[in-house]
Chain A
Amino acid sequence: MKQFTLFVLLTAFTAVGVKAQSPQYQEAMAKQVALLDQGSSYNPQTLLEISNTFERIAATEKSQWLPYYYAAYSQVMSAFMQQDKAKMDELADKADANAAKADELNKNSDEVALIKSLIATVRISVDPPSRGAQYGPESGMQIQKAKQINPENPRVYLLEGQSLYYTPEQFGGDKVKAKETLKLALEKFAAFKPADSIAPHWGEVRAKQLLEEAGK
């Protein structure tokens, strides 16, 4: 009996050890993710602090994909707010490196594909005429990849709608279709249940904002 308890204990430990979802990790992640849920965090300085914290967590945990994922996400969001184009590329480079690591740890993830789509969008905004032809298809391809993996992911429709909304009609944009897609995104958001409090769940507010803007 004693031996059995020990055995159970040991296996339990190893299982937990492999998942390494220590309370410390959960707590630190939850705190940072909660920051990302607040609109007031969306300024370059705060996003830098948040992405640095995620990078610190990533450096310690190493087997978790989420810290890398969120580091990349914060860097992409920060890139969209930059005025300096060189800075945008620099942040995209960082986000790229983090997304690649997240990809390694969590292969075929719809969420990582969406981050990659956003990174491609950052690249385009640096120099649209020169880069559109290269990164435009890349951005679209990653959204399609995410859709294939998980058609229920609401962020797929948010990014799709956003791209339709901002692309001029002559370049294949479509405001009517954008609205439909964003409505679909909201439906998917309503049905969407993140696995836990730190699983990716951003975007609903953004979808509502965009839809409101499109409604005018």
Chain B
Amino acid sequence: MSKIYYHLLLCLFIPGILSAQHKIAGKITDAKKRPLPGVNIYIKGTYDGATAGADGSFSFTTTANGAQVLVASLMGFQTLEQPVTVGGPLNLTLMLKASVNELKAVTISAGSFEASSDKQNTVLKPLDIVTTAGATADIVQALKTLPGTQQANDREGLFVRGGTGYETQIFIDGLLVRNPFFTSLPDQPGRGRFSPFLFKGTTFSSGGYSAQYGQGLSSALVLESEDLPARSSYSLGASVFGFSGGLDELSKDKKGSYGIEADYTNLGPYFSVAKPKQEPTIGPEIIGTSANFRRRTSSTGIIKFYGYGNWSKMGFRKNSIEYPGYQEQFDVRNQNIYTNLTYKESLGNGWRVNSGFSFSTNRDKIQIDTIQKTPQTNIRNNSNLSQLRLMFSKSLGVLSMLRFGGEYQYASEKSRFNSYGANYDDNYAAGFAETDVYFTPRFVGRFGGRTEYSSILDKVDIAPRASLAYKLDDYSQFSLAYGDYYQKPEPQYLRFKRDELGYMKATHYIGSFQRVAGDYTFRVEAFYKKYKDLVKTAPDTSTTGTGYAKGIELFWRDRKTIKNLDYWISYSYLDTRRNYLFYPFEVQPDFAAKHTASLVVKKWFPKITTNIGVTYSFATGRPYYNPNLPENKFMSEKTIDFNTLGFSASYLTTVRKAFTVFVLSVTNVFDIKQVYGYRYSSDKLRREEIVPNAPRFVFIGMFMNFGIDRRQDVINNL
């Protein structure tokens, strides 16, 4: 049978074999006439073709005849299909157009540092955020090594470009996190509550951020939670501070997972040896739990739940500055629950929906007492926040995009000061729309706006936002950003004086240049920020304060020059003045330093599987308020410069089947004195330095993981 077939086949092919072979040759270039080596050129429907050489030239013979289609394809370029008539030798000059792909297209970058494992050309990887010595696995602490941030380690939150900690908002999967930090002592800020390992992407915006987010005058920290884990794992940890355990279980069908984690921290035993400045009377003790649940609902849809609950208590005693010879006792008990439920799905035709719901509650019980001198003060704060968010996006063409949506928040703030209570509720609603328009793959504009309404202020605001980015070549780009930002005054002012208050406002102007080439990153950014309607507490409570901030920032990162060594340097120059709270006129505020710089170095020693990290940070002195000075000298005195050096070493090994990491980490290794300011007694006669409670922390611990190798997470965490 097959014989017949071959005969037939031969007959069919003989004409082809007999027909002449034609030579097709030529040269192929890009739009700028540069030769394109490696292009695959062939006659469609045949195997006849060739690969273009280094000079873009190609040559092959074909038995095809007559009207044919010549195909030329190369990664990163649009495939060319050109009709040709083959009848004799052909000499062709071909040109390929660059294809528009997301990798090479420009992205909006002014004002923001993005850490993502999905994308190649980001300045940082998620791990880098937590790979910083001295950061003690706190996202916010690690971000303080980036330009634009202040080393304001005596206050809660991230102080960005002349803004206060309150002006930075934190979002998880688009939903606001109220109380992201543990409640702590005055002048001793609490750590962030959530584990950095839960996030696959982090965008830290130091200004000019998208209309999707609001109610942060200065900055937005946007965290994107992980999808499904690669496989199930269990973890255990023990350290001089406490212990932790967790499990992450991937379902059999690999479409869902759940995880729970619990940790117990007690600094009591450590403090009994290390002797902090203030004497601990309770704990500090923290019980933390978290749970997550993720389920793929389709190939494009996923539903995610994440929640944590924290219970903490601590009490400290110190010598009273107000009443010499007496001691002050400060106790705080805190309970905090945060939940976040999101659903993402593609609706087809380029449409996507992102929706989310979140409920969080926070309770503080604070007792302040100057023992045997004043009656005890009891403070209770109880705040609840429910929020709902819905966003639609639609792809327009290959790269352009339209996004719009809305959010609604219901906040209830209850507060008691001894027997005085002051409560309020706020209904906040916002709508936003923005579009990314690609004029060319190298040139993009983002235009949008946001409108917000808050029932307690009974005011509406409209905040336009715009950015432009232009890519000079594959590595470098310029960006510009502009935007108006509004924020409600802090609860402690809204509680009492809501009728006199309105929104605070900041307007951002940013220009930046960045070059990300392989393992080198360089970035320079200049900004100007105008403040309006800041809260004033003197002479009357009002939103009539003013201010500005301007500066220039540099960032350099090199992961290549020295093998196994990665370092980055950041420098920020900040010129800011504001007239807010009780300030008599515009002056450099007490949280802002003129010059801030950080150097982060990480070195990996493969032979001993040990990672060594060192972080050095510097800031010039900050102004402080000395009530003894005349008004024209307000805030004219400055503290000493700030210096700190953190160190960490981690050794990776295997204990039985568990991947294990042993860790030693020290903050402020050289015990350099740090003074953040001074606190005066009300008679102005005495003052005390505001200093860290424990100037140096030494951490020794071990982490074990069965299943996924997460040691890299742990070392990068110190």
Q: Which residues of A contact B (CB under 8 A)?
A: 8-9, 12-13, 16, 23-24, 28, 48-49, 52-53, 55-57, 59-60, 84-86, 89-90, 93-94, 127, 129-134, 136-138, 141, 168-172
Given A129-B127, A130-B117, answer yes or no on A138-B230 (Cβ-Cβ < 8 Å): yes
Asked if residues A93 and B75 are in contact (CB atoms below 8 Å), the reply is yes
Give per-residue flags for B646-659: 1 if the beta carbon is below 8 A from chain A beta carbons, else 0: 00000011100001
Asked if residues A171 and B47 are in contact (CB atoms below 8 Å), the reply is no
A5, closest chain B residue (CB): B4
Q: Which of B355-363, B440-448, B536-544, B706-714 contacts A (4 or more CB under 8 A)?
A: B706-714
A11, closest chain B residue (CB): B1
Q: Which of B36-44, B133-141, B384-392 contacts A (4 or more CB under 8 A)?
A: B36-44
Given A57-B47, A59-B44, answer yes or no on A168-B606 (Cβ-Cβ < 8 Å): yes
Q: Does B299 contact A (CB under 8 A)?
A: no
In the assembled complex, the CB of A179 is this many whole angstroms from the nearest CB of chain B, namely 19
Which B188-234 residues have C-beta < 8 A from chain A? Answer: 230-231
Q: 8 tightest A-B contacts by CB?
A: A52-B40, A137-B230, A170-B609, A130-B125, A52-B51, A49-B51, A56-B42, A56-B49
Q: What interface size band does chain B fall in?
A: 35 or more
Asked if residues A172 and B713 are in contact (CB atoms below 8 Å), the reply is no
Q: Which residues of B contact A (CB under 8 A)?
A: 1-2, 4-5, 9, 38, 40, 42, 44-51, 71, 73, 75-76, 117, 120, 125-127, 230-231, 518-519, 604, 606, 609, 652-654, 659, 708-713, 716
Chain A residues positioned under 8 Å from B609 (CB to CB): 168, 170-171
A25, closest chain B residue (CB): B47
Docked pose: A92 CA to B712 CA in angstroms:
24
Asked if residues B117 and A52 are in contact (CB atoms below 8 Å), the reply is no
Docked pose: A55 CA to B606 CA in angstroms:
40
In the assembled complex, the CB of A58 is this many whole angstroms from the nearest CB of chain B, namely 10
Asked if residues B120 and A13 are in contact (CB atoms below 8 Å), the reply is no
A133, closest chain B residue (CB): B712
Contact of B46 among A60, A89, A168 (CB under 8 A): A60
Asked if residues B653 and A59 are in contact (CB atoms below 8 Å), the reply is no
Docked pose: A12 CA to B231 CA in angstroms:
49
Given A56-B40, A56-B42, A59-B44, answer yes or no on A133-B713 (Cβ-Cβ < 8 Å): yes
Chain B residues positioned under 8 Å from A137 (CB to CB): 230-231, 708
Contact of A132 among B38, B73, B709 (CB under 8 A): B709
Chain A residues positioned under 8 Å from B606 (CB to CB): 168
Chain A residues positioned under 8 Å from B44 (CB to CB): 59-60
Asked if residues A171 and B652 are in contact (CB atoms below 8 Å), the reply is yes
Asked if residues B127 and A130 are in contact (CB atoms below 8 Å), the reply is yes
Chain B residues positioned under 8 Å from A85 (CB to CB): 518-519
Asked if residues B712 and A12 are in contact (CB atoms below 8 Å), the reply is no
**Would you mind naming 5 contact pairs between A and B with Cβ atoms under 8 Å apart?**
A55-B40, A60-B45, A84-B518, A169-B654, A172-B654
Asked if residues B653 and A170 are in contact (CB atoms below 8 Å), the reply is yes
Asked if residues A9 and B4 are in contact (CB atoms below 8 Å), the reply is yes
B566, closest chain A residue (CB): A129
Docked pose: A141 CA to B230 CA in angstroms:
10
In the assembled complex, the CB of B241 is this many whole angstroms from the nearest CB of chain A, namely 25
Asked if residues B5 and A60 are in contact (CB atoms below 8 Å), the reply is no
In the assembled complex, the CB of A127 is this many whole angstroms from the nearest CB of chain B, namely 7
Docked pose: A46 CA to B219 CA in angstroms:
51
A8, closest chain B residue (CB): B1
Asked if residues A134 and B230 are in contact (CB atoms below 8 Å), the reply is yes
In the assembled complex, the CB of B476 is this many whole angstroms from the nearest CB of chain A, namely 15
In the assembled complex, the CB of B298 is this many whole angstroms from the nearest CB of chain A, namely 19
Contact of A59 among B71, B75, B76, B604 (CB under 8 A): B71
